[in-house]
Chains A and B, each alone.
Chain A
Amino acid sequence: MSGTYEVVIIGGGMSGMMAAITLADMGRTVAVVSRGDPVCCLSTGCIDVLAAGNDPLKGISSLPDNHPYHLVGEDAIKTSLEMFKAVMSEEGGAYVGDAHVNRKILTPLGKHKVTCLVPGTMEFADFDSDEYIHVISFNKMKDFYPNYITSNYKNAGCSIFDAGISTTIGIAERLENRQFLKKFILWLKGLEIPEGRIAIPAVLGMHFAVDVCNEISVELGRKVFEIPTLPPSMPGLRLFGGLRNALLKRGVNLYWGKEIYSVEKSGSQIEAVTLAGAGRSTSVQGNAFILATGSFVSGGLHASMDTARETVFNLPVYLPGKRKSWFNDDFFTPGHAIEKSGICVDQSFRPVDTQTENLFVCGSILAFSEVMKYSCGHGMAIATGVAAANVCGELV
């Protein structure tokens, strides 16, 4: 399974996958190496671009100068988000939304989340609408308690369906079965919900939720939407599944579930990464490499008592002081100082203070990205992934 590619991407999350699609579309030969399924599987599936204000793209100019969004620029961010929408649409998981418009969607606690692009199943999840919401829950579903919504949200009611299983994935699998779905729709019709929208936790099928959602909507003559849930999150898994399919279609080689245990360098060039495997190791060689391994949560960075390191190439890591200054006291104020940690790069996404010339960095491992603080995770991943890939693709 050893191989040689024009570009080797390390990290199979949002940023790495978007970089791979970009490069494959430029005609480059690409491999993606990933330790496992990415953190986006655990996400809501929504694309947060920047939570402040009504227009996330406008808000970018007010971010600190060192924020990685500035390396991309407003126009290119917009283009990359359009590209993402096109890819997901091709994969049957169409997203809706406008890069210039933030929307508020309903959360399982009856509160709201600010985001930008949402899966088609959340098109009608608007929090600010006064329209009545009828929440459908599932008996003993352990991550969804509709009372939170009916008590916190101004205008909502609730009914409970017994799916015969209590896990998110279990229910989602059943709802992909035609007969089961028919039974569910019949039950919904029996409720004779007089008005408004129907909200269902995000369990409307494993892959083609937009179709399931539309079918229910047509049968009932009502708007239907999904509410994102705790991990395992179906919208997150569908997002990952869609992008993964897009990679395979483009002939990108995937090295999945592999740990990198050594890096081969020659002068200022990285030549290959060696992957551990059962029996024998695999060498993946490339003309250029893109590092998209994410922040601490994804394992791209690893902190010890008072330091942090980058886990693949041991690149220099920016760290905001000693541990005592890493965290806020208040849990509910998003954005601890530790979030500033990461790799500092130049205008062409190359790490500063290193001797390597053919390495590019993108995604939440970039220093000063502060994705929780600004609520810009997936947007930043997409924008920097595409931008770093464009620079890299021109050079190799």
Chain B
Amino acid sequence: MIKTDVIIIGGGSTGCGVARDLALRGIPHCLIEKGDFAAGATGACHGLLHSGGRYAVNDPEAAAECLSENMILRKIAVKCVEQTGGLFVRLPGDSKRFRDMFLKSCEETGISTEVLSPSRALDLVPNLNPSLEEAIKVPDCSIDPFRLCMLNITSSRRRGGEILTHNKVIDIIREHGRCVGVKVQEESTAEVREIRGKIIINAAGAWGNKIASMAGSGVPMTLSKGSLIITNHRLTNMVINRLRPSSDGDIIVPNEAVCLAGTTSITVNNPDESEVDPVEVDIIATQARQMLPDFGSTRLIRTYAGVRPLLKADGGDDRKISRGFKIIDHKNGMFSIMGGKLTTYRLMAEKISDRVMEALDLKTKCQTAELPLEGQEELSGYPLSKRLKTLENIVCECELVTADDVERVAREIGTRRIEDIQHRTRLGMGPCQGGFCTYRALGIMQETGKMAPEESMQVLREFLQRRFNGIKPALWGDQLREEQLVESIYLGILGMEQKQ
């Protein structure tokens, strides 16, 4: 049994942010995550650090939060944020009235804007649709959500925070009507453990209602699936938004060597819903092509979807729901934090940690806005720089990951999961989407004694199926060529179509 003060459920940006916040305030805590960090909406978003522009017109409060957090994160999370800047692009037919409202709202919120003529905009992003009417420059950035979570966790770990990934909360222990702990189950060993604490924070995002219901409560939320597509190239160095009311396919974000384009918004019931419909891909790709015509000929390497945990709305369009957040005190030792955005994760963590301090009758102030994230010293900035050196025994040719990298991470975190290796090395994130390197990485993992060959075969099967699910909705053009090759390798050369 583990004893602690605060139990945090959820290893997304909010949960990781709370762990850091409490660590800096000297509060013992334990974070429980059923998968790896950023496995839910955090890792499945478009990696945009909002300037607030997108919400300025309809949700000025959320916009103001985004803006101030944007300014904080670009200071404290230098190695996670790429200061790309963003454009809101107005194309022929897009409402001039909305443009005027946009500028006025941005001014009221304090978001700096610069109106650019088409030729000025084309100077900044040469492959923009040349028939654009104008573009408005805003301080959007791109952010690496996974790295952000890891760095928040570093602060916690350095101060004795207990971090349990791949552990699922299966029950909340209540005594005399109060939540006093949780039962967790380890994913691969199925071992069940008890963790006792004074306060439980439910930061489970889309799974928040499931957690709250274990404690006999509920949280009012609307689940909204958003799908995105990944291109093989970095088509723009700036974030590109469509200057019109929020709708499907209105954003393109550069991230490392690729671009992410999204998103759709479909109400769902199941937080595990992750299937992307080919129709969603068509919508996003078609819309993205209107802003960046090169999108029509570029290769799409994968699709993915996340489920947004939005505050409950009374019917209507998910897009009209505020992107603000809310803290619910269940009055039984559990707090839930709902809604919000990746951009505002730190503020959400601060607010809920304040409530924890109040409940524990302690006074230490939040320091997360001033202190830079720890552990950034060791990281290169934009990781292309790390690639400019001699590499030996490359196993992932797309992302230049070596056998040593895989071995090191496998030993360091003692993982048996290929996704854990992928998150920490970028293995399999390139054009072949792990078609070649996963087999190699698993071969290396079993040689280090981390997993038996039979287990690694099973992992390989599961990976290939998951990979195919992600690729299938956007499978045409050069990616279809790649896919036929990968298929011939695993089914034709290796003989994997035979059942275990």
Contact = CB atoms under 8 A, between A and B. Distances in A.
B440 interface: yes
A35 B196 CA distance: 66
A111 B498 contact: yes
Given A147-B453, A228-B493, A297 B485 contact: yes
A372 B491 CA distance: 8
B497 interface: yes
A302 B484 CA distance: 12
A329 B470 CA distance: 11
Contacts of A297: 481, 484-485, 488
Given A109-B496, A152-B457, A305-B282, A299 B443 contact: no
Interface string B448-485: 00001110110001001101110010011100110011
A230 B457 contact: no
Contact of A295 (B285, B465, B468, B484): B484
Contacts of B487: 331, 334, 372
Contacts of A375: 492
B484 A296 contact: yes
A196 to B, nearest CB: 20
B185 to A, nearest CB: 28
A44 interface: yes
A111 B282 CA distance: 39
A326 to B, nearest CB: 7
A43 interface: yes
A160 B495 CA distance: 24
A338 interface: yes
B278 A323 contact: yes
A225 to B, nearest CB: 16
Given A42-B485, A338-B480, A332 B457 contact: no
A78 B476 CA distance: 36
Contact of B465 (A48, A304, A330): A330
A151 B494 CA distance: 15
Contacts, number: 126
Interface stretch (A12-20, A58-66, A137-145, A278-286): A137-145
Interface string B250-286: 0000000000000000000000000000110010010
Nearest to B464: A331
Interface in A249-300: 295-299
A302 B476 CA distance: 8
A372 B492 contact: yes
A178 interface: no
Nearest to A336: B487
B170 interface: no
A323 B496 contact: no
A108 interface: yes
B436 A230 contact: yes
Contacts of B454: 151-152
Interface residues of A, number: 50
A148 interface: yes
A109 B492 contact: no
A82 to B, nearest CB: 24
Nearest to A112: B495
Contacts of A327: 472, 475
Interface in B153-179: none
B4 to A, nearest CB: 40
A151 B453 contact: yes
A65 B17 CA distance: 63
B409 interface: no
B489 A111 contact: no
A140 B403 contact: yes
B477 A303 contact: yes
A340 B394 CA distance: 36
A332 B491 contact: yes
Contact of A43 (B444, B472, B488, B496): B488
Interface in A144-185: 144-145, 147-148, 150-152, 166
A231 interface: yes
B367 interface: no
A359 B395 CA distance: 44
Q: Is the interface of A mostly helix, strand, loop or mixed?
A: loop
A248 B191 CA distance: 66
A332 B461 contact: yes
A44 B492 contact: yes
A334 B494 contact: no
A107 interface: yes
A2 interface: no
A230 B489 contact: yes
Contact of A166 (B393, B447, B453): B393
A113 interface: yes
A174 B410 CA distance: 32
B345 interface: no
B495 A109 contact: yes
Nearest to B443: A145
Contacts of B453: 145, 147-148, 150-152
Contacts of B481: 296-299
A42 B494 CA distance: 13
A270 to B, nearest CB: 26
B88 interface: no
Contacts of A150: 453
Contacts of B55: none
A314 interface: no
Contact of A332 (B440, B489, B496): B496
Contacts of B484: 295-297, 372
B232 interface: no
Interface in A14-66: 39, 42-44, 48
A332 B497 contact: yes
Contacts of B477: 302-304
B439 interface: yes
A135 to B, nearest CB: 13
Contacts of A338: 480
A111 B494 contact: yes
B446 A334 contact: no
A296 B496 contact: no
B475 A230 contact: no
B488 A305 contact: no
Contact of B495 (A113, A229, A296): A113
B458 to A, nearest CB: 12
Contacts of A143: 439-440
Contacts of A140: 393, 403
Contacts of B496: 109, 111, 332
A107 B480 contact: no
B17 to A, nearest CB: 37
Contacts of A142: 393-395, 403, 440
A150 B439 CA distance: 16
A333 B495 CA distance: 12
B468 A331 contact: yes
Interface in A327-365: 327, 329-334, 338
Given A42-B485, A112-B498, A338-B480, A145 B475 contact: no
Contact of A324 (B278, B394, B465, B489): B278
Contacts of A145: 440, 442-444, 446-447, 453
Interface of A: 39, 42-44, 48, 107-109, 111-113, 140, 142-145, 147-148, 150-152, 166, 228-231, 233, 295-299, 302-305, 323-324, 326-327, 329-334, 338, 372, 375, 377
Given A329-B469, A377-B488, 9 more contacts: A107-B495, A112-B498, A113-B494, A145-B444, A147-B447, A233-B493, A297-B485, A302-B477, A375-B492
23 contacts: A42-B488, A43-B492, A44-B492, A142-B394, A147-B453, A148-B453, A148-B456, A166-B393, A230-B493, A231-B489, A295-B484, A296-B480, A303-B476, A305-B282, A323-B475, A331-B465, A331-B467, A332-B496, A334-B487, A338-B480, A372-B487, A377-B488, A377-B492
Interface of B: 278-279, 282, 285, 393-395, 403, 436, 439-440, 442-444, 446-447, 452-454, 456-457, 461, 464-465, 467-469, 472, 475-477, 480-481, 484-485, 487-498
For the complex of A and B, the 4 pairs showing the least CB-CB separation, nearest first, are A145-B443, A297-B484, A111-B495, A151-B453
